[in-house]
Amino acid sequence: MIAVTGVLKLYYISASTCIDADFPSVLKHLLLNDPDTQVVANCISSLQEIWTLEATTSEEASRERETLLSKPIVYYLLNRIKEFSEWAQCLVLSSWFLKYIPSDSNDIFDIMNLLEDRLQHANGAVVLATTKVFLHLTLSMTDVHQQVYERIKAPLLTLVSSGSPEQSYAVLSHLHLLVMRAPYIFSNDYKHFYCQYNEPTYVKKLKLDMLTAVANESNTYEIVTELCEYAANVDIPIARESIRAVGKIALQQYDVNAIVDRLLQFLEMEKDYVTAEALVLVKDLLRKYPQWSHDCIAVVGNISSKNIQEPKAKAALIWMLGEYSQDMQDAPYVLEGLIENWDEEHSAEVRLHLLTAVMKCFFKRSPETQKALGAALAAGLADFHQDVHDRAVFYYRLLQHNITVAERVVNPPKQAVSVFADTQSSEIKDRIFDEFNSLSVVYQKPSYMFTDREHRGLFEVSDELGNLSIGTELTDTGVPGHSVVANDKDLLLSTSEKEETRALIIMIHLARHLIVH
């Protein structure tokens, strides 16, 4: 068993010696004849690595690699897979069967029948590896692919409820990916995604995303009712996420009567963060369902702008004051009060919304808004933020040119927004699906985004052991990118002392980086 691994080590030391001694053929013989499954697993790992590296320069190596993926060898491993250790099973399933190209549909069904019982395995890694094989084999068979979703659903849901929080999160991440691709298959299982009081926040957040994804006309009421319970949660991040989830469901449903009532109830709760999140969602709701403006504005009009501190919530309130100023009696006076406190408003987003809202209000209620508009333009022209200044200049020149044209530009007839942009493109989602059973699914981004050097961020771990260097972001500011290099003195330090030293150096460079900025 150890000798097989030694062959791979020899290959890296001297590839020509390893090949000339015909060690790969010895490994192939052991792969097919050795009774010890761990020896077989090591042979698979070593041969795969050797022939993959050799195939870049040798056609013979490419042919040898193809023979390893022949039908007799694949079926031989399939028939012995129950004898393998969990690690070896994952190795065979993840790196071997995924490269095998079945000859026909019967071949696919035979492989899945042989692997059927692996879906019942207690180890989550084995189940996920088997799931990936099933999904990969049936990609070109639409009907069968959907049946695979039904088949793998129960094992994955069982793993979620039976493992540690860390395992539950990993499995839930894969379930989330499947739910996004086929939400209707999981729509009847929505109760599995209800949050438990003792679950970590990261698990709860993922479950909220899944509840949003599986919501449809048949289960929306139950899901929204459950989410509204979370809004009163003592865990503020979860309360915020649950309110956002209610809003997302409202934006993707046709019958939103009950959901609108729930959102308006949030506005009446005496919790600042609940009111703030609800205001942002009501704004988006009115953009898609303007017919609900009368009910929403009646409640929004009772909210004091002095009680709203979060920039996004304040911007949403200001947008509604401008958009529906004809229906809100105090809108011009509320905007005037906000303009008087212009210098105290630190958010550029709020100041931009304030300029636009005053312009809209001016075209609907000119006598009451004229003074506020003049004050807003004067403050905007003197603003230090470039975007705010430019918008004030634009509005000022537009009004000078032609008031009628200005009204058509700032306050044109609007159509309801039908679809809100998704945060991830379908191409990225497909790329993540291709990397099923990997960290890509957990991170919700393709592997190149966290493995390629240009996507690593501030710190880069060098290829040499013991080197920790500061990335390009520090060097671009003029702060030298020092490295911590292992030397004789380093070897005298304990592991904890080394880590403390590295952490201290990193903190020093971070502080210098922040001072430069």
Residue spans of beta strands (DSSP E) within 148-229? none
In 215-271, where does DSSP find H-type helix? 220-230, 236-252, 257-267
Name the band, by pLDDT with cuts 50, 70 and 90, for residue 473. Answer: very low
pLDDT in tens, 367-420: 999 999 999 999 999 999 999 999 999 999 999 999 999 999 998 887 777 776
Q: Is residue 402 part of a domain?
A: yes
Could you report the per-residue pLDDT of 177-232, keeping only the tens digit for each? 999 888 888 889 999 999 988 889 999 999 999 999 898 888 888 999 899 888 88
Task: Evaluate if residue 291 carries a pLDDT over 50.
Answer: yes
Residue burial 84-111, b: 16+ Cβ < 10 Å; e: rest: beeebbbbbbbebbeebeeeeeebbeeb
Q: Which of 252-266, 335-349, 462-476 has the highest average model confidence (pLDDT)?
A: 335-349
Of 300, 322, 301, 422, nearest to 372 by C-alpha is 322
Residue 504 domain flag: no
324 lies in the same domain as 383: yes
Integer CA distances (angstroms), 439 to 374, 443, 472, in order = 55, 6, 25
- Token pair of 109, please? 């069904």
Q: Are 293 and 325 part of one and the same domain?
A: no
Check whether residue 151 and residue 85 sit in a common domain: yes
Residue 11 has pLDDT above 60, yes or no: yes
Q: Own/partner pairs for 15-22, CB < 8 Å, 24+ apart?
A: 15/53, 15/54, 18/50, 19/54
Tokens of 63: 């042919």
- For residue 502, name the pLDDT band (cuts at 50, 70, 90): low
Residue 235's pLDDT is what? Answer: 84
Give the count of alpha carbons within 13 A of 317, CB side only.
28
Helix (H) or strand (E) holding 190: none
Q: Are 90 and 13 in a shared domain?
A: no
> Are residues 257 and 294 located together in one domain of the fold?
yes
Dist CA 493 CA 484 (whole Å): 13
Segment 463-467 shows an average pLDDT of 41
In this predicted structure, what is the pLDDT of residue 356?
A: 94
Number of separate domains in the chain? 4
- The residue out of 69, 95, 128 marking a domain boundary is 69
Q: Is residue 418 part of a domain?
A: no
439 is a domain residue: no
> Per the domain annotation, does 438 fall within a domain?
no
231 and 299 inside one domain = yes
What span, in angstroms and rounded, lies between the C-alpha atoms of 221 and 216? 9
Give domain status of residue 390, yes or no.
Answer: yes
Same domain, 195 and 297: yes
% residues pLDDT > 70 (the chain): 86
End-of-domain residue from the set 148, 183, 218: 183
Let me know whether 113 and 159 are in one domain: yes
Instruction: Decide which of 353 and 475 is more confident.
Output: 353
Residue 486 lies in a domain: no
Q: Are residues 173 and 226 in the same domain?
A: no
In a domain, 432, yes or no: no
Residue 423 reports pLDDT greater than 70: no
Where does a domain end: 52, 69, 86?
69
For the whole model, what pTM was predicted?
A: 0.75
**Neighbour-count burial of 372, counting CB atoms closer than 10 A to its CB (0-12 exposed, 13-18 middle, 19+ buried):** buried
3-state secondary structure string, 403-423? HHHHHHHHCCCCCCCCCCCCC
pLDDT computed for residue 411 by the predictor:
87
Is 212 in the same domain as 281?
Answer: yes
Q: Assign residue 466 a region: left if phi > 0, alpha if psi is -120 to 50, beta otherwise?
A: left
What domain range is 388 assigned to?
A: 318-413
Rounded to 5°, the CA angle 150-154-159 comes to: 140
pLDDT for position 456? 54
> Which pLDDT tens digit goes with each residue over 112-150?
999 999 999 988 999 999 999 999 999 889 899 999 999
For residues 193 and 248, state if they share a domain.
Answer: yes
Burial code of 391-400, b = ≥16 C-beta within 10 A, e = fewer?
bbeebbebbe
Whether residue 150 sits in one domain with residue 165:
yes
Q: Which of 34-38, 161-165, 388-392 has the highest mean pLDDT?
A: 388-392
The predicted structure's pLDDT at residue 455: 55
